[in-house]
Structure 1
């Protein structure tokens, strides 16, 4: 009964077939486009800046979650069972070398022997610095790096968000990163400052 019926090539294409009846090869994954400043357009604070002077994806007003924070940095939205953001957790985002993927030289390394995001050659600016650490590229109107400015990056309590116990505090009355219960290590200390943990991390990096 199909004899004499004409099948449009468009219909074949939608079904994933070529006119010859063979499956079409999948297109290769596209590499992210970079802007004129050398960054992925989405992550460039100049190309994708919002009205509040920040990259739109990292703005607490434009990309806010229901908890009043930028969704990508919210513990309640993007946190893991280990008390960290998933992308920074050595358990949830670990690689085969026992590190967080973003901090592993073998997984995210560059030709200069550094982690790509901290290399001044790969992520450098015209002033010879890593772009995020350059006051001329990422500075604020107050003459400081935007992320380190108490006025630009301050909280409602008049303190820098990174150091505010009310914003970054834990239920135990301490900063989350300094709390043995929230950020503890197997040796009974805090993984960030524990000497045995530091030695283990440096040994893995060699």
Structure 2
């Protein structure tokens, strides 16, 4: 099994995809994308014939995911930490133990799953985007998805249509941003996980410098 995994933690719309691609350019690191959602029972993404890996190959042709998919099919009802462990074992078999996987699953729930795998050192990169640009990004996505039309709200939330309107408020967004990042920080401290915190804007301005600092970490 791979003895280490670099876990990119943070909120959605924080820039984890860009960071994952940048980290994947390092010769020792291999970006796997968002791993944990693929492990959940009933997730059909791994079975989509045209889904493409970050390496550019279709999953069925990828040297890693073609093997990983076969292994994950063996025991679809296994607990998520167990499936995560098996994925790390496949990674070591395919790429060797000198290469380090990068998991961009982001969420605290996914981080808990990775941290529950015995003998796996989880090294956390906590990516934080400035609350102002994060709020604008979230609102822009919500508006483009028409989540704030009355018909869509009622269809999605029933009588609880007040919640999306509340979340549209910038003050409420700040609370979501603060609590989400705070919970990640608290979990990292509780589990004594090695962690490196970086800002998305700082990374965007000088990615080379930040990648160097991350690698030294």
TM beyond 0.5: no
Pair member with larger Rg: 1
Structure of greater relative contact order (alpha carbons < 8 Å, 6+ residues apart): 2
Task: Name the structure with the higher helix share.
Answer: 2
TM-score, length basis structure 2: 0.22
TM-score, length basis structure 1: 0.23
